Amino acid sequence: MRQTPFVEMTGIDKAFDGNKVLQNVHLTVNKGEVHALMGENGAGKSTLIKIMCGVHSRDAGEVKVNNEPIVFKTPKEAEERGINIIHQELNIIPELTVTQNMFLGKELTYGKTGILNKQAMRKATKKSLLELGVDSIHPDELAGNLSVGQQQMIEIARALATKSELIVMDEPTAALTDREIESLFEVINSLRDRGVSIIYVSHRMEEIFAICDRITVLRDGLYVGTEVIKETTFDDIVRMMVGRELGERFPTRHAEIGDVVLSVENLALAGVFKDVSFHVRAGEILGVAGLMGAGRTEVVETIFGYRKKEQGEVKLHGKSIEINHPVDAVQHGIAFITEDRKDKGLLIDASIRDNVALTNLSTISKSGVVIRSKEKSLVDDLVKRLHVRMAHVHQPVKSLSGGNQQKVVIAKWLGIQPQVLILDEPTRGVDIGAKKEIYSIMNELSENGVAIVMISSELPEVLGISDRIMVLHEGKVMRKLQREEADQEKIMLAATGRYHDEK
């Protein structure tokens, strides 16, 4: 084992607006090490990373790179010392080619003429991609035509091209398919062999145990500890993160399953999906599995009236209903927690109050005038019920962590007291503690007779919380399974189109 540290951060303190977000935090990453950084949302991971990369300044503490004390004032200075970050939201310009993206801002030219040396750039791109073992990407392809996984490879290649010695990967697998995750791991392994260090920020425990060498855990801005992965266990890490025993990951379900609430018959959207039929009963959780692009999100967006259906029927309690706009769905008591919090779920600059109030304006107003007292009590109740961690309700939601943002989205929808709740990837980018809270909210709602449809790409989650599972592949329903008969393999077979239930 190589033990030479590349980056050492010791005694880091940082406060925003007087809130201490980091107190005496340490992080040491060795050369050629894959180091996991874990902690619940709001634990201070991103702040620590941003200090390392020169985005934020530190209030106290020391940062050493290659044993030399250093203060980065800008991300560029950090980059020059070989520290790169690959954000969850990729810095790829879809309208440009792979090569143009690779050399963005550092284009090769013929001498100082300013004329681009396209040949050399194309060659270099091809070479860097090959070094990563990626031969499926053509340098002249538009980046926008590539999958998210491939775009990520471009970013990694770009980081390596600048002689990167440490790459921070923030939730790198959040949007990847299983196969893409596998090839990302191969790349990470080859980087490790070349002596490149990696900081792997993720909530996915399985991945951390599969790929990382050591792990540092933060909790509430404090340093909890650093462990060698091989000498620790899943439960140890969870205990470190939450500071207590978390118990079972999924709540025990004993909701009484009642009559059919929502049924969908032969729903179709041109070119995306067809013949989608299913139902969900009161108190039941229907899990919807499938790969990316299977049309899961489109199905629920169509039910919700956000997309115009081509044909088919939606029934509520056996009666056909016409939904032409989300407002119709809301009036029928259907709530939809969207996949993408920032783009579709929240007014990201607006306050928690404004976000929660938005779906509930009709109940907190009289003749179009908002009644402040009603609004206050509704919003206060909901954020309390969901344990949203915040300073006050007038705080902009963008200042909250991912898990708390998601709780705000759920809060705004619980206000309408839905009879049908649709959740699309409800725990994406959410830490273990918040995940558990979200599961227990779902469980509680189902016990109160709400019919729940949950789309998820995380199979343990689908298997852990659903009563029934529906699998989609390329816009078709491939299989419906009772929870007892379902397992990961059966779901994957159907999701990849290798099993089709002809019924």
Q: Which chain residues interact with other proteins by CB under 8 A?
A: 16-18, 304, 306, 325-327, 329-331, 336, 338, 343-350, 354, 357-359, 361-362, 365, 368-370, 372, 412
Give a three-class secondary structure readout of 200-249: EECCCHHHHHHHCCEEEEEECCEEEEEEEHHHCCHHHHHHHHHCCCCCCC
In the complex with other proteins, which residue's Cβ is closer, 307 or 476?
307
Q: How far is CA 216 from CA 49, 64, 246, in A?
A: 12, 17, 19
**To the nearest whole angstrom, how small is the minimum distance from the Cβ of residue 316 to other proteins?**
16
Report DSSP letters for 239-275, one per residue.
HHHHSS----SSPPP-PPP-SEEEEEEEEEETTTEEE
* Pick 181 or 379: Cβ nearer other proteins: 379
Quickly list DSSP for 54-114. TSS--SEEEEEETTEE----SHHHHHHTTEEEE-SS----TTSBHHHHHTTTS--BSTTS-
Cα separation of 393 and 90, whole Å? 30
Distance of closest approach, residue 338 Cβ to other proteins, in angstroms: 6
CB of 342 to other proteins, least distance (A): 8
Minimum distance, C-beta of residue 19 to other proteins, in the bound complex (Å):
10
Closer of 252 and 367 to other proteins (Cβ): 367
CB within 8 Å of 225: residues ≥ 6 apart: 216, 217, 240
How far apart are the C-alpha atoms of 202 and 185, rounded to whole Å?
Answer: 13
Minimum CB separation of residue 376 from other proteins in Å reads: 14
Residue number with CB closer to other proteins (247 or 368): 368
Q: Cβ 348 to other proteins, closest distance in Å?
A: 7
Torsional class of 391: left (φ above 0), alpha (ψ -120 to 50), beta (otherwise): alpha
How many Cα atoms occupy the beta-carbon half-sphere of 187 within 13 Å?
29
Min CB(358)–other proteins separation in Å? 5
Q: d(Cα 278, Cα 453) in Å, to the nearest integer?
A: 10
Find out whether 412 and 360 touch, Cβ atoms under 8 Å. Answer: yes
Cβ proximity to other proteins, 18 vs 111, nearer residue: 18
Q: Measured in Å, how far apart are the chain's first and last C-alpha atoms?
A: 56
* Of 270 and 370, CB closest to other proteins: 370
CB of 345 to other proteins, least distance (A): 6
